[in-house]
Amino acid sequence: MERFTDRRVLITGAGSGIGRATVHRILGEGGRVVAADINQDGLAETAKQAAANGNGDRLSTVAINIGDEDSVKAGVASAVETLGGLDALVNAAGILRSAHTHEMPLADFNTIITVNLTGTFLMIRESLPALLESGKGVIVNFTSTSAFFAHPYMTAYAASKGGIMSMTHALAAEYGKQGLRVVAVAPGSISSDMTDGKGPGLPADADFTLFTKLMPILGQGFASPDTVAGVVAMLASDDGAFITGTEIRIDGGTHQ
């Protein structure tokens, strides 16, 4: 498939996990991509892999700290200039921290909200002029299954992802008449740097019986990031032309 021929895409969180998988998927379908991440070593590895796949000529990278307004302003401007415009924004960047809520420092709570929720807002705000000018702009946001049902020890993360989901609906209504689509994906049970091993940083005394309802019913364990990348590519392409103001759960039937 060449669904992204002549389409220009900016992807955050592109230095690892789902963001990296999405970069490779869209490059593989003919797109031109700017990969963004705070982790420049991760971006270099993404670029190295793209070159090995024969797609390096259509990939550029830019360092962006999505929780910093000045970094976002400069990074998005650079990406739009590099691409000569923008047709799709994929907001895959985010962080996950876990703790007993009564023990969580305010600074940690605010950091999660700043990166996940405020960072998504900043990327959208700075990208909107170019996306609207495109006339076929698409924003794909990342919410989470934690926005739908309980994920123990993750109140701050759940709050940030619930905010992203609500923001997705509001944006779709506000800009729909101008041709902009805004959708969200809600991954769950996906293997990535964020979730593998002790990625979530669960408390040492975490009660794992609280997680029994968070396992996928398909029985295959955690899925690969490619599982999400394929759905993102569909939503950001013309195949998703009649999808906006909603979210798609990608979780193997978790919590049915």
CA distance readout (Å), 96 to 34, 52, 158, 226? 24, 31, 9, 20
Known active-site residue 157:
yes
Spatial distance between the Cα atoms of 213 and 225, rounded to a whole number of angstroms: 21
CA-CA-CA-CA dihedral for 59, 240, 223, 10, to nearest 10: 20
Which of 157, 187, 229, 234 is the catalytic position? 157
Q: Where are the beta strands (DSSP E) in the chain?
A: 8-11, 32-37, 59-63, 88-91, 138-142, 181-187, 247-250
Other beta carbons within 10 angstroms of residue 184's beta carbon come to 28
Provide the annotated active-site residues: 157
